[in-house]
A and B are shown apart, each in its own frame.
Chain A
Amino acid sequence: MVFALGDYLAGILVGAVTAVVVHWAVAPGTDMVIAMLVGAAIGLIIHALLGLLLSLAFGLMETMIPASLIGMYGGMLFGMRDSMAAGSRTLAAAAIVGAIFGAVVVLGVKLYDRALRGTVYETSM
Chain B
Amino acid sequence: MDTATQKKWDDASRTFDVFAAADDRRLSAYKQRLLKQIRGNTLLVAAGTGNDFKFLPPDVRLTAIDISPKMIERAARKAVAYPGRIDLAVKDVCELDYPDSTFDTVVTVFTFCSVPRPVIGLRELHRVLKPDGQLLMLEHVRSAIGPIGVMMDLITPLSRRFGPELNRDTVGNVQKAGFRLRRVENVYLDVVKIIEAVK
Contact residues of B between 180 and 194, Cβ < 8 Å to A? 180-192
State the Cβ distance, B20 to closest chain A Cβ, in Å.
9
A62 to B188 alpha-carbon distance, docked (Å): 8
Q: Is the CB of A120 within 8 A of B188?
A: no
Could you give, for residues 71-114 of chain A, a 1 whenever the CB lies within 8 Å of some chain B CB and a 0 otherwise? 01100000000000000000000000000000000000100110
B interface, by DSSP: helix, strand, loop or mixed?
A: mixed
Could you give, for residues 115-150 of chain B, a 1 whenever the CB lies within 8 Å of some chain A CB and a 0 otherwise? 000000000000000000000000010010101100
State the Cβ distance, A11 to closest chain B Cβ, in Å.
14
Q: Is the CB of B23 within 8 A of A60?
A: yes
- Which residues of A lie under 8 Å from residue B154 when comparing CB positions? 44, 72
- Which residues of B lie under 8 Å from residue A113 when comparing CB positions? 188-189
- Which residues of A lie under 8 Å from residue B191 when comparing CB positions? 61, 65
Number of interface residues of A (CB under 8 A): 28
Judged by a CB distance under 8 angstroms, whether B107 is at the interface is no
Number of interface residues of B (CB under 8 A): 31
Q: Is the CB of A56 within 8 A of B185?
A: no
For the A-B complex with A56-B22, A72-B154 known, give 9 more contacts whose Cβ atoms are closer than 8 Å. Answer: A48-B158, A56-B19, A58-B22, A58-B26, A68-B155, A69-B148, A119-B183, A121-B183, A125-B180
Question: Which residue of A is nearest B183, CB measured?
Answer: A122
A112 to B148 alpha-carbon distance, docked (Å): 12
Q: Is the CB of B185 within 8 A of A119?
A: yes
- Which residues of B lie under 8 Å from residue A56 when comparing CB positions? 18-19, 21-22
A65 to B189 alpha-carbon distance, docked (Å): 10
Return the contact of B190 from the options A44, A59, A116, A125 (Cβ within 8 A): A116
State the Cβ distance, A36 to closest chain B Cβ, in Å.
15
Question: Which residue of A is nearest B24, CB measured?
Answer: A59
Q: Is the CB of B18 within 8 A of A61?
A: no
Contact residues of A between 47 and 66, Cβ < 8 Å to B? 48, 55-62, 65
Return the contact of A57 from the options B22, B145, B187 (Cβ within 8 A): B22
Judged by a CB distance under 8 angstroms, whether A24 is at the interface is no
Q: A44-B154, A122-B182 are in contact. Are A117 and B187 (CB under 8 A)?
A: yes
Question: Which residue of A is nearest B181, CB measured?
Answer: A121
State the Cβ distance, B18 to closest chain A Cβ, in Å.
6
Q: A48-B155, A55-B22, A60-B22 are in contact. Are A109 and B189 (CB under 8 A)?
A: yes
Judged by a CB distance under 8 angstroms, whether A29 is at the interface is no
A61 to B166 alpha-carbon distance, docked (Å): 10
Judged by a CB distance under 8 angstroms, whether B75 is at the interface is no
Question: Which residue of B is nearest A58, CB measured?
Answer: B22
Q: Is the CB of A120 within 8 A of B18?
A: no
